[in-house]
Amino acid sequence: MCAMDNVALFTEKAKLVSAVVSEIKSLEQAYEYTTELCDQKEACQLLLSGCEEPLSGKAEDLCQLKDWSKMIAAPGLSEEELKKFIPLAKEKGISLIKDGVRNHLGGIDIGFTVVDYGIAETGTLVLDSSSEELRLATMISEIHVAVLPKSKLRATSMDVEKELISYMKDSPNYTAFITGASRTADIERVLAIGVHGPLELHILLWEDN
Amino acid sequence: MQSAKDLKGYRTELKGALDNEFLRTSMDNFAVAYRASRANAFKGMDVDAMIRDVAKRKSAAISHMDELFEEFKEKAEKVGVKVHLAATAYEANELIAKIARDSKCKKIVKSKSMTAEETLLNHHLEDAGLEVTETDLGEWIIQLRHEGPTHMVMPAIHLSRYQVSDLFSDVTKKKQTAEIEKLVKVARRELRQKYVEADMGISGANFAIAETGTIGIATNEGNARLVTTLPRVHVALAGLDKLVPSLEDALATLRVLPRNATGQAITSYVTWITGANECQVTEDKNKEMHIIFLDNGRRALAKDPDFKEVLQCVRCGACANVCPVYRMVGGHQMGHVYIGAIGLILTYFFHGREKARNLVQNCINCQACEKICAGGIDLPRLIKLVHAKIQDEEGHPLQSTLLAKLMKNRKLFHTFLRTAKVAQKPLTSNGYIRHLPQIFMKEHGFKALPAIAKKPFRDEWKKIKPVETRSKYKVGLFSGCVQDFVYPEQLKAGVKVIAGHGADLDFPMEQTCCGLPLQMMGELDTLKEVALQNIAAMDASKYDYIVTLCASCASHLKHGYPKLFANEPGLSVKVQQFADKVVSFSTFVNDILQVDAAEFKHTGQKTSMHYPCHLCRGMGVVEAPAELVEKGGMEYVPADEAQTCCGFGGTFSAKFPELSEQILIKKMTDFEKTEAEVVVTECPGCIMQLRGGAVKRGEKFVVKHIAEALAENKIA
């Protein structure tokens, strides 16, 4: 299968599970997209029940969310990349954090990641999430924005087997396959999005070569 | 969680489920929707080859269970995991309670684990004073309701949004609406807090990969990710059967599992965890991680020649999705902890004879589960084996023993049938039994039962044997007892259709019942004796083909017999040669004799087909009957769900008449919609059920064996 076929197939399959797929030419474009998306969305709605009551210190941390306007977590980015991203966010009054995600377990608006591989057959993202910050950013955010470099797109899961094995050999590792947003059909088999993880998944296909 | 004391109590519970309208509707919708989404998910793929591949990988893994465990342990311990082996369910539960004590954990969040359901882990931990919260939405709902799951993948499928709304109102002490989207958000909010407070997370594992010491977990909600990330301690509980040699095995299985489970190409999340990962809330910034492998009989199962196959189960739940009985009564009646066909087997091994005794009899033997099983397990056969084992342990019921005694001796059996004909005389009218004799229960009233024929087919054979001018094939005709003694006209019609094509027909008089009823009753010893009588009566070397007009006989002769003697040297060859020659009537007439439309007068009569379970699944015949209907001068009108069971199942309909009736009504409705004048099928059992129902209900269509429909139109 040639690369173009993989892009088309990946896009089709990812959209089938309600991911939003766009194409970008540069990472700067991804930062603009993410800032714009965050600006457009309503502030994080997920407030832990009981926030209005007096709480213990630990639990109150969760509610600090109220003080924040909006927040993006981008733990995987280098300092250099963050320098490009932060001004864009700042301009819109959005906080951008790269660590301390555990302090915001009530929820953050957007988790931003650059993923390691894509699997066209199922529209799946492969993300080495061994860093706890990165892992949490993709779990507790309301929207997950993932950049997938086109050069990292493979046809099937079998085509990333060797790479996965190299992750898993001889050191602790936490790798995630992510396909669409968090979903459940546990009540009357009716599909509902965002039961635990992100409510939306945005995939930015990056023309990286 | 089915736990009735006896069959009578079980039937009462079943009846309760049948009267639950919400359950019935949702199960019906699910059964139909599942089939479509599964087909869509596998579109363009060779499903059977993929399933064979999974079965091969799982089977290889099972035979190396101990070595894989050692390899996994070594690899996982190198990366900071403590790997434990629990011999029993209690040991596993106690190990986890001890880890909680030692690590001072008080609050636990849990993601879905069937293995933890198997060990009843939550009870144990709660008794030890720990707070346990299920985080999978469905599991949380049933935990709050103090129930067991009703499906392996969708544990709360039996509940309505209104029931969930009431439940959540109780939990939050605030009135909740019945909007599903909002209820899901309530769960999100309530459970997020639980994650934050928890100090231990318990997960299951879909795969345990020996080459890297990795566990793989598939979820849609993403709850397993939070469970394995936020708390400082992670305990994974997995059956030893989850061990596979390589990542490749896991990836290959993963291509089948979600597609087969819910018709998804893949679950939203698949999490691969190797070793104790970063966890910022601990002193050394590393997670405390334990993996507990549960034996609970698995190592012994792996060595059992008959039952090791059950360990090939990947817990997709598909065997329930396609089960006509599950569809009628749901998982609380069709399982104890494990649900569906696999549950009927596993209950015996993991939860005991008491719990399995009634349950195991509730299999209609339609083979829908066998055909769909992602692990390639011959579920119906193993269910019957469990049934037989329980009878061997507890003593066989009288009627079962009598049946076995009678069938062991062909002459005695046939004499009994001839005598029954005389005995039924005052009760019959127009070929049906007017009033049911005492031995049948009143619940049988939903169908008219046929009477024993005046003259069995065997008595007429000499008179009707066709003379072929040129002989092309030597063919043995296997009648089966129902057609021989109840419906000889079907065999006569079949002979008429076959005549004139060079098939030199032979009908050996020593042939007897194929033995399927004995299998259904759990009489395995007699079953083998009867099979050997047939094989001796019909020496395979004399024939090119062995034809039968009964799909149940055909499938049992062809696939059941070789399995009966698989491990018996000297017998297996002869049995296989016999089995290789067995063909169904429609295959023989359509594909081998290749009858032509010119042989039949054209009536254009609207004709629908019921595909007997043992024809479409047992024999893999799905095209020949429809082609024959058209060649035979009729117009073929397909019915919805034409390949689902009619509810007969031989002795099943005698044991569970209420279920049999409900399944039948569904079929009748589907045929009404086609506006067919005739419904044909290819199994006397199905005819007994369908025709009996059609007569009783005053349906506009008549039910015929396909041979009868063809014979009527054949131009002499």
Does the beta-carbon distance from B79 to A186 stay under 8 Å? no
Q: Using one digit for the tens of pLDDT, what is the confidence trace for B404-432? A: 998 999 999 999 888 887 777 766 666 77
Taking 90 as the threshold, does the pLDDT of residue B449 lie above it? no
Does the beta-carbon distance from B154 to A189 stay under 8 Å? yes
Does the beta-carbon distance from A47 to B189 stay under 8 Å? yes
Tell which phi-psi region holds residue B583, choosing left (phi > 0), alpha (psi between -120 and 50) or beta.
Answer: beta
pTM, two decimals, is 0.91
C-beta of residue B200 within 8 angstroms of C-beta of residue B103: yes
> A173-178 and A124-128 as β-strands: parallel, antiparallel, unpaired?
antiparallel
Best mutation target, A122, A188, A190, A199, to test chain B (most B CBs within 10 A): A188
Q: Give the residue on A whose Cα is nearest the Cα of B23.
A: A188
* pLDDT value at residue B222: 94
**% of chain B at pLDDT higher than 70:** 97
- Picking from B363, B377, B359, the residue whose alpha carbon sits closest to that of residue B315 is B377
Taking 90 as the threshold, does the pLDDT of residue B115 lie above it? yes
How many helices, marked H, and strands, marked E, lie in chain A?
6, 12
Report the amino acid identity of residue B603: T
pLDDT band at residue A2 under the 50/70/90 scheme? low
Q: Which two tokens stand for residue B53?
A: 């591949």
* pLDDT value at residue B636: 98
C-beta of residue B694 within 8 angstroms of C-beta of residue B664: no
Q: Using one digit for the tens of pLDDT, what is the confidence trace for B12-59? A: 999 999 999 999 999 999 999 999 999 999 999 999 999 999 999 999
* pLDDT value at residue A58: 42
C-beta of residue B610 within 8 angstroms of C-beta of residue B366: no
> B473-478 and B545-548 as β-strands: parallel, antiparallel, unpaired?
parallel
List the single residue in A62, A158, A194 with the smallest CB-CB distance to B188. Answer: A194
Structure letter (DSSP) for residue B322: T
Mean confidence (pLDDT) of chain B: 94
Taking 60 as the threshold, does the pLDDT of residue B606 lie above it? yes
Taking 50 as the threshold, does the pLDDT of residue B437 lie above it? no
Asked if B643 reaches chain A (Cβ–Cβ under 8 Å), the answer is no
Taking 90 as the threshold, does the pLDDT of residue B398 lie above it? no
- Give the helix/strand (H/E) hosting B362: none
Measured CA to CA, the distance from residue B629 to residue B635 in angstroms comes to 7
Q: What domains sit in chain A, N to C, each tagged with a CATH number? A: 3-42+68-206 (3.40.50.10420)
Residue A125 or residue B188, greater confidence: A125
Mean local confidence (pLDDT), B92-100: 98
Q: Using one digit for the tens of pLDDT, what is the confidence trace for B126-180? A: 999 999 999 999 999 999 999 988 988 889 999 999 999 999 999 888 899 999 9
Taking 70 as the threshold, does the pLDDT of residue B123 lie above it? yes
* pLDDT value at residue B434: 59
**% of chain A at pLDDT higher than 70:** 86
**SS3 annotation, A186-197:** CCCCCCEECCCC
Q: Using one digit for the tens of pLDDT, what is the confidence trace for A48-89? A: 433 433 333 444 455 454 445 799 999 999 999 999 999 999
* pLDDT value at residue A44: 58
Taking 50 as the threshold, does the pLDDT of residue B438 lie above it? no
Q: Using one digit for the tens of pLDDT, what is the confidence trace for B301-326? A: 999 999 999 999 999 999 999 999 99
CB contact residues (below 8 A), chain B span 118-177, against chain A: 135-138, 141, 154-157, 159-161, 164, 172
Structure letter (DSSP) for residue B157: T
Measured CA to CA, the distance from residue B169 to residue B154 in angstroms comes to 22
CA distance A91 to chain B (A): 31
| Cβ-based contacts of B276 with chain A (< 8 Å) | 172
CB contact residues (below 8 A), chain B span 175-194, against chain A: 180-181, 183-185, 187-193
List the single residue in A105, A172, A178 with the smallest CB-CB distance to B274. Answer: A172
Q: ipTM greater than 0.90, yes or no?
A: yes
Report the amino acid identity of residue A131: S
List the single residue in B30, B193, B195 with the smallest CB-CB distance to A189. Answer: B30
Taking 70 as the threshold, does the pLDDT of residue B208 lie above it? yes
Taking 90 as the threshold, does the pLDDT of residue B575 lie above it? yes
Report the amino acid identity of residue A99: D
Q: Using one digit for the tens of pLDDT, what is the confidence trace for B617-644? A: 999 999 999 999 999 999 999 999 999 9
| Number of cross-chain residue pairs from A and B with Cβ atoms under 8 Å apart | 198
Taking 60 as the threshold, does the pLDDT of residue B101 lie above it? yes
**% of chain B at pLDDT higher than 90:** 86
Measured CA to CA, the distance from residue B416 to residue A97 in angstroms comes to 86
